[in-house]
Amino acid sequence: MTPLEAQINKRLTLNLLIQGAAAHAFVSASHLVRDELERIRPGLTELYDRFAISGQLNYCIGDNALFFGRPNRWWGLSESSQKPLRNHRLLDKYGNQLVIEETAHLRTLAKTKNVIGVPFLHWLQFMPMVFQVLRVEKGHEHELTELAIKTVSEIWDIPQARLDGSLTRETAFGNLHTPKTALGRIARNGVLGYGGVELRGDRFFVVAKAWVYPLLVHELVKGTVELICLHGLNELDDATYDAVTREADQLEYEAWLLQAGPAMWRKFIAVTPRDISLAHTIMHVARLNPKPLEELMMQVIESPDHARDNLAELIRSKENAANEADEL
C-alpha cells in the first residue's frame, strides 16, 4: 500500500466516525431538548423521533440501500466488498456486519414508534413524513435553527459563534466535489442537507444547511466532528490533502458510511475514557498515523477491553506530553 493509499484509508476511517456521530445525533438528540421542542410545537419530539428513525432506516433498507447497496456487493449478499472498500481492512472485514447491527438496532427502535421496518413499505411511510415535518416547521425556522446550534454547542463544547446553521432548501455550499458517477450525480439532486468546515479569514467555522431540524442537527454534528478530525490531516501538503479528500469524500461512499458508521460509533464511544471530553479523544485519535489508527479501530471491534486500555494510554501520553511542553 502506498503512503497516499494509507492516508485515503485513514480519511475513510475518520469519515466512518464522522458519519456515525452525525447519525447518532440525528436519531437521539431531540430528547436532549424535549421541553424546548414541545414549547415550540407540541408533538414535535415524537414526530422527530419517527422521522429520524425512518430516515436512518432509509439508508439501510430504503431507496438509498437499493441504489447504493451495502458495503458488501449485491446488497450485502456477497462475501466480497464493494470495490472502493476492498483495500480498507476494517470496512472490508466488518462493514457488512456493522450495517446488519445498525439495521437491527433501528428496527428495534422502529417498533416502539410505529415506524415500518419492511423494505418498500417503509419508503411509502417515510416520504409523506418528510413533507409532514416541513409543514409543521413552517413559521418556526428561526427558533429551530437557534435550538439546533445551541444543542450541538452544548454536546460538543464548541462556541455557538463557530456554528453557522440554517434551515433552507438551498443546501449546497463551498467547493463540493463533483460526483464521478451518474448515480452520484442523481444522489446529489436528492440531498436534503450538507455540513462541513469552511475557512473564513484565519479561522475554521462549521457550516450546515438542511431542510428540517433533525437534519440540521445531523449536519452540524458532522461538521463539528470533521473540524476536530482536521487535526489528523493538517500535516499533509496541499496536493496530498486534495488527493486524499477527492477520493475518500466521494458522495457515492456516504451511503455505506451512514449504514455502517452508527454501529461503529456506538462501539467507539463504549471504549472512550469518561474523564476526558469526547472531542479531545477524537482529536488524539485523528492524529494517529494510518496504521496505528487502523489497529485501534480493529481492536474496538475485536477486543474492546484492549482498545479501552490502549486508548486511555494514548490520551494519557499525549496529555502528559502537552503538559510538559507547557512547562518548558
Range with the poorest average pLDDT among 85-99, 257-271, 275-289, 313-327: 313-327
Q: Please give the grid coordinates belonging to residue 112.
A: 416502539
Top-confidence residue, 46 or 276:
46
Top-confidence residue, 319 or 134:
134
Mean pLDDT within 226-255: 92
Mean pLDDT within 76-88: 85
Cα gap 56→64, rounded to integer Å = 10
Return the closest-CA partner of residue 191 out of 215, 160, 166.
215
Q: What is the pLDDT of residue 177?
A: 72
Q: Binning pLDDT at 50, 70 and 90, where does residue 226 land?
A: very high
Cα gap 262→285, rounded to integer Å = 18
Cα gap 160→279, rounded to integer Å = 16
Indicate if the pLDDT at residue 23 is higher than 70: yes
Cα gap 287→270, rounded to integer Å = 20
Q: What is the pLDDT of residue 322?
A: 62
Cα distances from 235 to residues 133, 230, 287, in angstroms, run: 42, 9, 9
**Cα 302 from chain centroid (whole Å):** 22
Q: Furthest-apart CA pair in the chain: how many Å?
A: 64
Q: What is the pLDDT of residue 121?
A: 93
Q: What is the pLDDT of residue 216?
A: 98
Q: Binning pLDDT at 50, 70 and 90, where does residue 152 land?
A: very high
pLDDT mean across residues, the chain? 92
Are the beta carbons of 82 and 256 closer than 8 angstroms?
yes
Cα gap 204→201, rounded to integer Å = 8
Q: Binning pLDDT at 50, 70 and 90, where does residue 326 land?
A: low
Indicate if the pLDDT at residue 111 is higher than 80: yes
Range with the poorest average pLDDT among 104-108, 144-148, 174-178, 282-286: 174-178
Mean pLDDT within 251-263: 94
Q: In terms of residue numbers, what domain contains 64?
A: 3-327
The amino acid sitting at 231 is H
Q: What is the pLDDT of residue 321?
A: 64
Number of domains in the chain: 1
Q: Binning pLDDT at 50, 70 and 90, where does residue 51 land?
A: very high
Indicate if the pLDDT at residue 64 is higher than 80: yes
Q: Binning pLDDT at 50, 70 and 90, where does residue 99 land?
A: very high
Indicate if the pLDDT at residue 8 is higher than 70: yes
Q: What is the pLDDT of residue 323?
A: 60
pTM of the model: 0.93
Secondary structure (H, E, C), the chain: CCHHHHHHHHHHHHHHHHHHHHHHHHHHHHHHHHHHHHHHCCCHHHHHHHHHHHHHHHHHHCHHHHHHCCCECCCCCCCCECHHHCCCHHHHHHHHHHHHHHHHHHHHHHHHCCCCCCCCHHHHHHHHHHHHHHHHHCCCHHHHHHHHHHHHHHHHCCCHHHEEEEECCCCCCCCCCCCCCHHHHHHHHCCCEEEEEEEECCEEEEEEEECCHHHHHHHHHHHHHHHHHHHHCCCCCHHHHHHHHHHHCCHHHHHHHHHHHHHHHHHHHCCCCCCCCHHHHHHHHHCCCHHHHHHHHHHHHHCHHHHHHHHHHHHHHHHHHHHHHHHC
Burial class (CB in 10 A: 0-12, 13-18, 19+), 2: exposed
Contacts (Cβ under 8 Å, ≥6 apart) of 100 = 76
